[in-house]
Structure 1
Amino acid sequence: MDERWAVHASGLVKRFGDRRVVDGVDIAVPTGAVYGVLGPNGAGKTTTLRMLLGIIEPDEGHRALLNTRHPRDASDVVGYLPEERGLYPAMKAREAIAFMGALRGLDWKTGRARAVEMLDAAGLGHAADTKIRKLSKGMAQLVQLLGSVVHRPSLLVLDEPFSGLDPVNQEKLEALILAERDRGATILFSTHVMAHAERLCDRLAIIAGGKRRFEGTVDEARATLPSQVHYQPRRPDPAIAALLPADARSEGSGWRFQLPDGGIEPLLVRLIEAGHGISGLSIERPRLHDAFVRIVGREALEKAA
């Protein structure tokens, strides 16, 4: 076992009938990192997480979670927020959090005390004695998330945690994830929303059609696409096209093209020496969303939609 990895899996396969929902996926989550599993709906994200946690068994492959090949042996130091949310509606928020901690071995007294502290920190202190059925969907989801971390797990696994949350509660969730990371926990979460992954992830895997299509950092994913240059000359002149890269296309009174391999400086020198000058210049890095579309493919995304 290698303590550099909180989660390590190779060749995971899961079949449902004749369909391979997960088809040879490798995952390596560094200890202490925030790691995202990205993919369109139906990509196999949830099934992969459930295999890693030992909720379901893989048909092929191996996995290790917190230095054990038997994930359920580590359940008391794992926090899990499933895609299907569920709390007892008659329970008060404080009791629901303490109850979830008790399921992981935390005593009731400590669980209740921590629940009040965590609700206050999340701006939900006023709801500590409110029954779950009277909370908004977003508030109830945050309560369940707090219940997933009340026992201070070493590993926190969140399946589509941002689904259904309004922007305010999404910000609260992002802050909580970063706070757990700063506490020393490893965070593994799945999502199909690129913005959250772009802001939070140290590393990520992109899964589509049950296969892993990419693994690396956000910057490495962006690097699968070239940066785009938008150049605005001092005055329109068709002769400029002869100096620009072959992929340059006219946009209004300016031009757009891929950043040349040798950088932008040699091209700018030629443009200035030719008298075209520079009225405006910007270099735009690809977004993670753009890289995601390229890696997964538009056809796969349309099929998932």
Structure 2
Amino acid sequence: MDRFLLMTCFARAVETGSFSAAGRDLGLGQPNVSRYVAALEAHVQTRLLHRSTRRLALTPEGERYYAEVRRILDAVDDAESSLRDTVAPSGLLRVACPTALAHAFVLPWVPTFLDRYPGIELDLQIGDRYVNLVDEGAELAIRIGHLEDSALRARRIGMFERVCVASREYLARRGTPLTPDDLQHHDCIVYTLLSSGSTWRLSDQEVAVSGRLRVNSPQAVQEAVRSGVGIAHGPRWLFEAGLTDGSLRLLLSEYVPPLVPIQILYVANRLLSKRAVAFMDFISEAFSIVPALSADRPANDK
């Protein structure tokens, strides 16, 4: 039994979502792929996939096994590619990315990246849920904030400032906060997926805030603050349109918090594939020319 073939069929079925699509990609046909995955499950004595008429879904054991299978297949691919330096980056690259950052700055560059590297398939996993690179099969993750996991390595690709903003309508109704402590007497829009919860960092102090609206989407924060619901705190680039057209005002600008890094993370003890390196270099170059993501660069260096 060729276990490498079985693992390849399993991984491709997961990535395409069906035995039929995997069979077309691999030139094996749907019946063979289904049979090979069943043989793999029999070999490991574990159900890896839930089958239905509409889709395939990984079992919890399948999720863990897929991450290891993907690592093995990538390592084999990299080993072969290392002997052929002229071979262009290729294969499937899974990248996790926060929602707002993806829509504002990553997706606009995707067509150029795919044109430059026609051999790469990009699976961009957009969402604000924490993706575990060790267990979930993604090769890279773009994250906002400082690295805390010692099993990962990081490459910084940008820096930005966080600001407090409110609509002119809200300020006319409720007044303007003059110090961070004043925020405790205002309706603050709480972004529930923020790692610090309902605590905002302003200058060298942390302020516990509250309000009548809690949301789990940066876009919802953006829309709510423009609608006059309350005060928002987040990346300046998220509110730039409102600040530019005058519908939003900057608040507490003398209490500027530390700059926040944007980083690409990868697992420390895994060999990075050529496609991962290509993506890291590409997106780092792309971000370097965006002023909103280069807050720590001198003006003549942007």
Same fold (TM over 0.5): no
Q: Which is higher, the Rg of structure 1 or of structure 2?
A: 1
TM-score normalised by L of structure 1: 0.27
Structure with the higher fraction of residues in helix conformation: 2
TM-score normalised by L of structure 2: 0.27
